[in-house]
Structure 1
């Protein structure tokens, strides 16, 4: 007796990776190219997902440029898109010792307000070690039901 096989649809995972100069101009370019790439993948400009990703990339790139900058070193943006399931945003810099502490909890906190935005828009986010040096801040948006 043979076991019937069921065919599963192939899942195509799309990836975009680019390095940018650790400057405000590099952060703006990262946001613009991320939105352009999403549009090419079928997530149109102005959609809810596109707007959320634009804000997440803008905040994470600004943090990389402001707090993770090492002169002469770039930061990296990576987008990983699994249609119907998830979109992952990774922003990496070479300053591993400066990690996001936490989300601001009070009106007089000196920092962490941008992380409130990340916390509100992302399904989940975390800070990972980057090999050989640095850190990666990862934010994920669930797209499925």
Structure 2
């Protein structure tokens, strides 16, 4: 079974979860040590008053020891938040694990919820299958 841990949390909550409450299809791709992924999740349009939540589902199908590092950062350049979490599988371990980033601070005006972030994903070994969702 994979281990999920928060390794950095600056004005954002990083935590393991068991799934997502998103109603969307999410974005899916493979991530590896030689194929890191960088993206910019945005909160669901038309949902006023809600801030950003990013749920990431990762599947290690090969059963090899591996670590996925997921990092979120402020896109405004002000450094208002950053967060990092890891999902670690031991040798012979496979399966699905989830990590969530939530509790983003409001934007610089003190009122507007954060609606986007920079997301970077990379593994220490073999490719894994990733799907991320926003709420």
TM-score (norm 2): 0.28
Q: Which has the larger radius of gyration?
A: 1
Larger helix share, 1 or 2:
1
Higher relative contact order (CA 8 A, sep 6+): 2
TM-score (norm 1): 0.27
